[in-house]
Amino acid sequence: MFIRLPGRLLIVLLLLAGCSGKKSSIQQEDRKWWKEAVVYQIYPRSFKDSDGDGVGDLKGIISRLDYIKSLGVDVVWLNPIYSSPNDDNGYDISDYRSIMKDFGTMADFDSLLKGMHDRHIRLVMDLVVNHTSDEHPWFRQSSSSRESPYRNYYHWWNEERGKPTPRWSFFDVNSDAWKYDPVTKAYYLHYFSRKQPDLNWENPQVRKEVYEVMKFWLDKGIDGFRMDAFQFVAKDTMWPVLPQGYEQHIIRYYGMGPHLHEYLQEMNREVISKYDIMTVAEGAGSTLDDAMSLVDPARHELNMAYHFEGMDVGNFDPDYNLLDFKKVYTKWDSAFEDKGWISIYLGNHDQPRMLSHWGNDAPRYRDASSKMLTTFLLTMRGTPYCYYGDELGMSNIKFDRISDYRDISTINKFMHLRQTGGDTAAFIEEQKRSARDNGRTPFQWDEGPNAGFTTGSPWLKVNPDYVTVNAAAEEKDTSSVLAYFRKAVWLRKSNPTLVYGKYAVLDRDNPSVYAYTRDDGQKKFLILLNFKAAPGSFILPAEIDLTGAKRVLSNYPAAGGGQKTAEKKATPGGTQPLRPYEAVVYELSPRNSD
Ligand code: NOJ
């Protein structure tokens, strides 16, 4: 119940609140549910199979909603579940308004959404509108005749014009984004695979169709969209020749094309502004200004974006440079300090597993390094995106043979190398670190056959480490990676300081420890993370006093012995040692706040 106060009394009360004690830096109007959310990403093919066909499905997810709830997360992002011939596992959509047969029916979808909402979990769906499948009725029509009313839904280059200006393709065996179609004697554009023709966003009819699709799902009650490859939708249709080697800097040349902001503002006017939803762009251009231009609230475009720069650090080298990593995250945080919002993630369906990529999957370090990375994700400022299975410490499967891979990206690169006499053996070795299928193996529910994922034959092999790394085993162990994940989520959810508080990096040049504070004037946290397998240390700055600090989260027992032993804390200017992959979060006593 709200109590109405006379205006003047309200102002006096607000002034008094402002003068009394500490002021929070969080303005009420800046608080948003999607900033405070913890997102859990589910790759539906691999989460839980309910009917034994080896492919995860919606009923499978429904059967595990209580598990998802138990994690403490409050938003689920589902990778595409629409009808698709699956050239790129659902990112090639043949009908935006129906559910892929492998995954179930619209009735299953409705029960899934209800089940989530009953548990106060919101649902964000993938919106894939840079391209459709070549089996989508629009493309079927478009490719049937040059006179088709759908011709202009896609980008065509008639053969009389000669060869099209070269464009590079992410997944094409020959990296060629133009495919010749003999039926109408023209080439069509596909930035991704040949079965993923790019939509022509210059055509207002295409945009209108997309807005109708968005409304269809929003009217069902979903809570937002993750917008696939959205920075690529706007193209320079004068098709200028791009400089030599442009494909090495593809985002610079393909991202943020002409009219992108006009399209987004139109979409915002027509759809987004009418719902209380979360909208997150995949990719954020190639500069901080690009990213800001997508999410600056004054521009009325999107809520948040995720950038790729963090993912690019070290190029999958397990010995990546922590200084570069810190620099990237610090730079991105500071660019959004005053306005705009970003997300934080360390893995997703396009990446290898978080543990193998950024931590250490050797049995000795799996536990500590998974927990350390979870601590990072849940104590940074952007909205954290946690990828299914990372809460257990799942790792890269590291296939030895190309026949084990299912991902078009790996398979087509391999074919290209084979056709051109490249080093396929070196490629297979490299894919053990970088391939997307590493992050797509089935969820490890228990130690039964196929890790309890399916009673059939799984579409992608289960990681053999499931015998020890599985949810059932971790449920029984109060010190498991899973138990820690829940504690870290709870810590974030119960402390708005960890969402909104100012981030300040400490000891920038420390090559193994990432240390920072989060401070909103109400509370202050110090986060110490040793990113290395060797012991590290951190020199406590003079302005930070650990006396009276509470150790609110850590992945090791207190230093100096068991939990009961008094913890050794450094004095200002002193050295705080950190064990391999140790993570500690201190809540500092009030005297540390400005
Ligand atoms: C980005 C998606 O995350 C990826 O999985 C997909 O292959 C491409 N976009 C094409 O849709």
> Within a 13 Å sphere around the CA of 72, how many CA atoms are in the beta-carbon half?
17
pLDDT of res. 558? 79
Residue 310: both structure tokens together = 């963090």
Burial of 361 (0-12, 13-18, 19+ CB in 10 A): buried
Here the CATH number for the domain that contains residue 392 is 3.20.20.80
Looking at the domain assignment, is residue 22 inside a domain? Answer: no
Taking the C-alpha atoms of residue 365 and residue 367, their distance in angstroms, rounded to an integer, is 6
Q: Is the beta carbon of 129 within 6 A of some atom in ligand 1?
A: no
Residues 264 and 180 in one domain: no
C-alpha 229 – ligand 1 centre gap (Å): 7
Q: Confirm whether 533 is domain-assigned.
A: yes
Q: Could you say which of 433, 455, 489 is where a domain stops?
A: 489
Same domain as 426, residue 309 = yes
In a domain, 24, yes or no: no
Q: Do 104 and 162 reside in the same domain of the chain?
A: no
Quick one: angle between helices 204-220 and 260-270, nearest 10?
Answer: 40
Please name the residues in contact with 564: beta carbons below 8 A apart, sequence gap of 6 or more.
none
**Whether residue 280 has its Cβ less than 6 Å from ligand 1:** no
Place of tokens 């859990």: 40
Say if ligand 1 is within 6 A of residue 43 CB.
no
Closest C-alpha to ligand 1, atom 4: 350
**How far is residue 239's CA from residue 249's CA, in Å, rounded to a whole number?**
17
Whether 311 is in the pocket of ligand 1, judged by its Cβ within 6 Å, is: no
Q: Are residues 184 and 109 in the same domain?
A: no
Calculate how far, in angstroms, residue 115's C-alpha sits from the geometric centre of ligand 1.
27
Long-range contacts of 286-293 (CB under 8 A, 24+ apart): 286/249, 286/251, 286/252, 286/255, 286/256, 288/331, 288/332, 288/335, 290/231, 290/255, 290/256, 291/332, 291/335, 291/336, 291/340, 291/342, 292/335, 292/336, 292/339, 292/340, 293/256, 293/261
Q: How many CB atoms lie within 10 A of CB 532?
A: 19
For tokens 């706040």, the residue is: 593
CA-nearest residue, atom 2 of ligand 1: 228
Q: Is 87 in the pocket of ligand 1 (CB under 6 A)?
A: no
352 & 479 share domain:
yes
Same domain, 150 and 261: no
**Ligand 1 pocket mutation pick from 88, 195, 351 by most atoms within 8 angstroms of CB:** 88
In a domain, 442, yes or no: yes
Pocket probe mutation, ligand 1, options 171, 311, 350, max atoms within 8 Å of Cβ: 350
Q: Where are the alpha helices (DSSP H) in 174-287?
A: 204-220, 250-254, 260-270
∠ at Cα 78 (75, 84), nearest 5°?
165
Residues 278 and 376 occupy one common structural domain: yes
Contacts of 243 (CB under 8 A, 6+ apart): none
Give me ligand 1 centre to Cα 91, in Å.
6
Could you say which of 459, 489, 519 is where a domain stops?
489
The neighbouring-strand residues paired with 526 are 517, 586
Q: Are residues 182 and 259 in the same domain?
A: no
Ligand 1 atom 11, closest CA: 91
For residues 181 and 264, membership in a common domain is answered with no
Q: What is the pLDDT of residue 27?
A: 75
Token pair of 331, please?
């730079």
**Which amino acid is located at 205 in the chain?**
Q
| Spatial separation of the C-alpha atoms in residues 42 and 46, rounded to whole Å | 8
> 549 with 586: CB under 8 angstroms?
yes
Residue 207 CB partners (closer than 8 Å, separation 6+)? 201, 263, 266, 267
Active site residue 282: yes
State the pLDDT at residue 593: 67
Q: Which two tokens stand for residue 556?
A: 């090791």
Residue type, 257: G
Q: Where are the alpha helices (DSSP H) in 222-321?
A: 250-254, 260-270, 288-295, 309-312
Statement to judge: residues 429 and 530 lie in one domain:
no
Among 42, 41, 43, 62, which residue's Cα sits nearest to residue 104?
62
Check whether residue 538 and residue 555 sit in a common domain.
yes
Asked if residue 552 belongs to a domain, the reply is yes
The H or E element that residue 287 is part of is none
Which mutation among 46, 96, 127, 128 tests ligand 1's pocket best, with the greatest number of atoms within 8 A of CB? 128
- Residue 1's pLDDT is what? 31
Torsion on CA atoms 213, 218, 219, 221, rounded to nearest 10: 140
Q: Is residue 528 part of a domain?
A: yes
Q: Which of 228, 390, 407, 582 is catalytic?
A: 228
Atom of ligand 1 nearest to the CA of 88: 7
Domains held by the chain: number: 3
Here the tokens at position 384 are: 């954290």
Q: Residues 338, 378: one domain? A: yes
Catalytic residue, chosen from 57, 102, 282, 587, is 282
**Nearest atom (ligand 1) to Cα of 192:** 10
Those residues with Cβ within 8 angstroms of residue 304's Cβ, 6 or more apart along the chain or in another chain: 34, 278, 279, 280, 281, 295, 340, 341, 342, 343, 382, 383
Share of the chain residues as helix, strand and coil, in percent rounded to the nearest 5: 40, 15, 45
Within a domain: 195: no
User: Is the C-beta atom of 225 inside 6 A of ligand 1?
Assistant: no
Please give the biggest Cα pair distance in the chain: 81
Strand ranges (E), 418-507: 502-506
In the prediction, which pLDDT does 570 show? 81
88 lines ligand 1 (CB under 6 A): yes
H or E stretch including 346? Answer: none
CA of 232 from ligand 1 middle (Å) equals 12
Burial bucket for residue 276 (CB in 10 Å: 0-12, 13-18, 19+)? exposed
Domain membership of residue 238 (yes or no) is yes
Say if residues 388 and 44 touch (Cβ distance below 8 Å).
Answer: no
Which residue's CA is the nearest one to ligand 1's atom 5?
A: 350
Ligand 1 atom closest to the CA of 130, numbered from 1: 11
Tell which atom from ligand 1 comes closest to the C-alpha of 408.
7
- pTM of the entire predicted model: 0.95
Helix (H) or strand (E) run with residue 383 in it? strand 383-387
Contact yes or no for 463/397 (Cβ under 8 A): yes
Question: Is residue 275 packed enough to be buried (19+ CB in 10 Å), middle (13-18) or exposed (0-12)?
Answer: middle
Q: Which residue, among 395, 369, 391, has the nearest Cα to 556 in the 3D structure? A: 369
Give yes or no for residue 91 CB within 6 A of ligand 1: yes
36's enclosing H/E stretch is helix 33-36
CB of residue 128 inside a 6 A radius of ligand 1 = yes
Mutation probe of ligand 1 site: the residue of 41, 91, 136 with most atoms within 8 A of C-beta: 91
**Spatial separation of the C-alpha atoms in residues 8 and 472, rounded to whole Å:** 58
289 catalytically annotated: no
Phi, psi dihedral angles at 294 (to 5 degrees)? -85, -30
- Looking from the CA of residue 171, the nearest atom of ligand 1 is 7
User: Domain of 178: which CATH number?
Assistant: 3.90.400.10
- CA–centroid distance, 446 to ligand 1, in Å, is 30
Given 489, 521, 554, which residue is the final one in a domain?
489
- Domain containing residue 332: 34-132+204-489
**Nearest residue CA, atom 6 of ligand 1?**
91
Positive or negative: CA dihedral 360, 364, 369, 371:
positive
Question: What are the pLDDT tens digits along the chain (594 aa)?
Answer: 333 344 444 434 433 443 334 445 567 778 999 999 999 999 999 999 999 999 999 999 999 999 999 999 999 999 999 999 999 999 999 999 999 999 999 999 999 999 999 999 999 999 999 999 999 999 999 999 999 999 999 999 999 999 999 999 999 999 999 999 999 999 999 999 999 999 999 999 999 999 999 999 999 999 999 999 999 999 999 999 999 999 999 999 999 999 999 999 999 999 999 999 999 999 999 999 999 999 999 999 999 999 999 999 999 999 999 999 999 999 999 999 999 999 999 999 999 999 999 999 999 999 999 999 999 999 999 999 999 999 999 999 999 999 999 999 999 999 999 999 999 999 999 999 999 999 999 999 999 999 999 999 999 999 999 999 999 999 999 999 999 999 999 999 999 999 999 999 999 999 999 999 999 999 999 999 999 999 999 999 999 999 899 999 999 987 654 444 457 788 888 899 999 999 999 999 887 765
Sheet strands (E) in 89-197:
95-99, 122-127, 156-158, 178-181, 186-189
